[in-house]
């Protein structure tokens, strides 16, 4: 069992989730039950799966949940791209979110490798 709050990757995933909430707070009403919900749910999934995996009983289970978190990061990157294409976020915000998500992917990969 790992102390998930001490994991840098969990901390960065929480920071990214906060940024996603902030930059989606002004989406048009038409997106309230579509893209808004999807992108936020996806962002929350990343640190949530890291935490859940850390609380499991074996390395194998932890690795499995890290894989799920990594998949959520890829999904989130797609939604961030869509936010940019629909002009709901500017290029500066897009770049910041994209860099942060790539960093989290790399951290998850390294953590998985260290657990193997």
- The structural domains of the chain, ordered by start, are 4-115 (1.20.1440.60)
**pLDDT band for position 1 (cuts 50, 70, 90):** low
Q: How far is CA 73 from CA 52, 69, 78, 97, in A?
A: 16, 6, 9, 11
Q: What percent of the chain has pLDDT over 70?
A: 99
Global pTM reads 0.94
Summarize pLDDT for 4-47 with one digit per residue, the tens: 999 999 999 999 999 999 999 999 999 988 999 999 999 999 99
Fill in the DSSP letter of residue 116: -
Nearest CA to 35 out of 73, 93, 82 is that of 82
């Amino acid at each position: 069992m790992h102390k998930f709050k001490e994991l840098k990757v969990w901390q960065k995933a929480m920071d990214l989730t906060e940024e996603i909430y902030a930059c989606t707070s002004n989406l048009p009403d038409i997106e309230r039950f579509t893209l808004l919900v999807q992108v936020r749910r996806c962002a929350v999934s990343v640190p949530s799966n890291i935490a859940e995996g850390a609380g499991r009983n074996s390395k194998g289970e932890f690795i499995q949940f890290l894989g799920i978190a990594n998949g959520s990061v890829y999904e989130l990157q797609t939604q961030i791209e869509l936010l940019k294409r629909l002009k709901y976020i500017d290029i500066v915000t897009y770049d910041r979110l994209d860099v942060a998500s790539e960093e989290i992917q790399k951290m998850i990969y390294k953590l998985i490798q260290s657990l193997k």
